[in-house]
Chain A
Amino acid sequence: QKEVEQDPGPLSVPEGAIVSLNCTYSNSAFQYFMWYRQYSRKGPELLMYTYSSGNKEDGRFTAQVDKSSKYISLFIRDSQPSDSATYLCAMSGYNKLIFGAGTRLAVHP
């Protein structure tokens, strides 16, 4: 079993939809939870990070962490075609980041 599980998609939604991206994990020692966005032919870039459980909001993006369920989510409100990318969750542990496989998202006009 992988330490971090993420549905690879692809996920296709119409412009303006609310998108929900999720990851589950098995190691309760993880403390920092991150979401990276990767556009085609580019390196991943940090979108948001959250420490421990709770919510964090940044514009149209909201990250949620539920440590009791070992489940994290990223919500995108009013999705735009420019949000089309692969979204990778990542968790900090053992001085390393453990990445999910990434979910490919396509937002069509």
Chain B
Amino acid sequence: DADVTQTPRNRITKTGKRIMLECSQTKGHDRMYWYRQDPGLGLQLIYYSFDVKDINKGEISDGYSVSRQAQAKFSLSLESAIPNQTALYFCATSDARKEQETQYFGPGTRLLVL
């Protein structure tokens, strides 16, 4: 089984709809991240969480919210989806005990907002 899983893998939605992307991990890591990836822009950090009670905004948090339901679960919500939120979304985890902060990524969710 994959260490970092994301659901759904693909999603098509309409402008104005609320949607939630979910991430679960079995690696036992404290830190979890949400990124979006757009062609030519690389990975941009949306939100990150260093433990269940710690939530931080990344560089592009506007229009997004997150919930850390448990150490192993981190959800990303688009409150009112808009077309420029069409992108590939990745969840990642890292081990705070490791100095080099290697991040482990899920398989991604491909989101299309019409």
Contact = CB atoms under 8 A, between A and B. Distances in A.
B101 A32 contact: yes
B42 A88 contact: yes
Contacts of B106: 43
Given A42-B108, A43-B90, A44-B90, A97 B42 contact: no
Interface in B64-95: 90, 92
B103 A97 contact: yes
Interface stretch (A64-72, A73-81, A99-107): A99-107
A23 B58 CA distance: 22
A43 B107 contact: yes
Given A42-B107, A42-B108, A99-B42, A51 B100 contact: yes
A102 B43 CA distance: 9
A60 B48 CA distance: 34
A8 B37 CA distance: 13
Nearest to B48: A96
Interface residues of A, number: 21
A45 interface: yes
Interface string A15-54: 0000000000000000010100000011111100101000
A41 B110 CA distance: 9
Given A34-B102, A43-B108, A92-B101, A102 B42 contact: yes
Interface of A: 6, 8, 32, 34, 41-46, 49, 51, 88, 92, 95-97, 99-102
14 contacts: A41-B108, A42-B107, A43-B106, A43-B107, A46-B102, A46-B103, A49-B102, A51-B100, A88-B43, A92-B100, A96-B45, A97-B101, A97-B103, A101-B40
Given A42-B108, A43-B4, A43-B90, 14 more contacts: A6-B42, A8-B40, A34-B100, A41-B107, A43-B105, A43-B107, A45-B104, A46-B102, A49-B100, A95-B101, A96-B58, A97-B101, A97-B103, A99-B43
Interface of B: 4, 40-43, 45, 48, 50, 58, 90, 92, 99-108
